[in-house]
Amino acid sequence: MNSPMKTIIEPFRIKSVEPLRMTTREERCEILARAHYNLFRVRAEDVLIDLLTDSGTGAMSSEQWAGIMRGDESYAHARSWYRFRDRVQALTGFEHIIPTHQGRAAERILFSCLGVEGKTVASNNLFDTTRANVEYLGGRGVDLPIPESLIPSRELPFKGNMDLEALEALLAGDADVACVILTVTNNSGGGQPVSMANIAGASQLCRNHGVPFYLDACRFAENAYFIKLREEGFADRAVESIAHEIFSHADGATFSAKKDGLANIGGFLAANDDHLAAQEQELLILSEGFPTYGGLAGRDLEAIAVGLVEVVQEDYLEYRLASTCYLGEGLERAGLPIVRPPGAHAIYIDAGAFLPHIPNVQFPAQSLCCAFYEEGGVRGVEIGTLMFGESAKLELLRLAIPRRVYTQSHIDYVVEVGGQVAKRGCDLRGFRLAKAPKVLRHFSAELEPLG
């Protein structure tokens, strides 16, 4: 945007490299069978391009590594805690900042203290760990995405939005709503952004009904940049200021620093309510750690504080969105239908549309996932019936892009693998579940190929 050149380059150079290990197709077929066709069970060194998740897989900058050395490991009130707290407060404007070892710990503490038992938690789309934490505590998770979000080919600027009419109806009805938590960007809904108007609208409805309004803010910077590019009135605003406005609509937030914290571990829970924050800190001490470190080392707090500055830089965000879009358009050209338009952190291939001969109960997206690994050692993740059970609305294969890790030639390779997979199309077969735990079954399930 700022440069007249057409090529958007990686806005960094490489100082330290991590070798990749090549495998043959035969080796990969054997590895896949041994892993019971679940890519979560495959060793990372047997993967060539790892697009399983963008969570905690990013590369840290030289400044972040310098922060690692600066880390103050004092138990209470370390320097690193103040650096972390001050940065999070400046960015979000929230009063109380509670560090946690990752996002799901923040979720568990929040829902425990709000008391969700027998109550409803509504969202545009609850992420899998968020839903699991609500349900584990005896609550009911309700997704209220806009109806268009369920049509993968539908092109909309803010396809991650919540259906505000449906929210109004829920809040006005008999359901006892413990809180609304809006996911920005909407990960389970195709990584699509939420508009500022939608965030403000959901917040207002919650206020009218006296229901707490939270953000699942894992990808707040990517969402803020989409708002800058696509929503009227934001083009000239700094991303930091847009992010600040996003947070200003909420009573608090949960955050995984493994995403837009540009760190390998960490998270926080933020709140404005003094009484609630005191309860949350009590629970934090019980399970995570003292309130000035949560589940983290001082050096982690430093890395996150620096990451939260770097992530709102526009050169970075421009490259981030452009490189993800490049993968999406390449895969489409290779013949694979994707969720349109491309999001920021991942490309979602519409396995339901591509493999109509495999019924959802036979996990078409998992079949596509295994094919990407067999063909080229590329690891993605199924987001469909294996992850969500019968309540899954779409069958998607997500290829998530770690931040600042892979170069354009890696992505070109993934596109070439996609072309090979596209050619196999109707030869791909479904799977049957051989063994699975009750909650979050996709992490450890064992599968058997059919026919």
Ligand X SMILES: *Cc1c(COP(=O)(O)O)cnc(C)c1O
- Contact footprint for ligand X (CB under 6 A): 55, 102-104, 127, 129-130, 183, 187, 216, 218, 256, 258-259, 267
Give the residue with the Cβ less far from ligand X, 107 or 374.
Answer: 107
For 51, residues 6+ apart whose C-beta sits below 8 A from its C-beta are 346, 378, 379, 380, 398, 399, 400, 401, 402, 414
Of the pair 234, 255, the CB lying nearest ligand X is at 255
Total residue length of the chain: 451
Torsion angle in degrees (nearest 10) through CA of 121, 125, 127, 130 = 0
**Closest residue by Cα to residue 397 from 222, 414, 406:** 414
The distance of closest approach from Cβ of residue 104 to ligand X in the complex, given in angstroms and rounded to an integer, is 3
Compare residues 193 and 430 and give the one whose CB is closer to ligand X: 193
Please identify, using beta-carbon distances, which residue of 222 and 375 lies nearer to ligand X: 222
Cis peptide, bond prior to residue 212, ω within 30 of zero:
no
Q: Which is nearer to ligand X, 402 or 430 (CB)?
A: 402
Whose Cβ is closer to ligand X: residue 127's or residue 316's? 127
Q: Which helix (H) or strand (E) holds 449?
A: strand 446-449
Q: Which is nearer to ligand X, 296 or 368 (CB)?
A: 296
Nearer to ligand X, 271 or 447 (CB): 271
Among 368, 351, 365, 363, smallest CA distance to 432 is for 363
The nearer residue to ligand X, 129 or 362, going by C-beta atoms, is 129
Rounded to 10 deg, the angle between the 239-248 and 79-92 helix axes is: 80
Residue nearest to ligand X (CB): 103
Q: Indicate the angle between helix axes 220-230 and 239-248, nearest 10 degrees.
A: 110
Q: Are strands 381-383 and 396-400 parallel, antiparallel or unpaired?
A: antiparallel
Q: Which amino acid is at 302?
A: E
Q: How far is the CB of 124 from ligand X (least distance, A)?
A: 10
Question: In the complex with ligand X, which residue's Cβ is closer, 80 or 100?
Answer: 100
Q: Closest approach of Cβ 335 to ligand X, in Å?
A: 29
**Tokens representing 116?**
């969700």
Q: Quote the least distance from Cβ 23 to ligand X, whole Å.
A: 28
Element (H, E) at 362: none
- Per-residue 3-state assignment (H helix, E strand, C coil) for 219-249: CHHHHHHHHHHHCCCCCCCCHHHHHHHHHHC
Tokens 């999406």 correspond to what residue?
A: 328
Least distance between ligand X and beta carbon 183 (Å):
5
Bridge partners, residue 347, by sequence: 399
Distance (Å) of CA 64 to CA 19, 91, 206: 22, 18, 38
Residue 355: strand, helix, or coil: coil
Query: Could you tell me the smallest distance in angstroms from the CB atom of residue 394 to ligand X?
Result: 16
Shortest CB 151 distance to ligand X, Å: 21
CB 374, min distance to ligand X, A: 27
The CB-of-145 to ligand X minimum distance in angstroms stands at 13
Smallest gap from Cβ 103 to ligand X, in A, equals 2
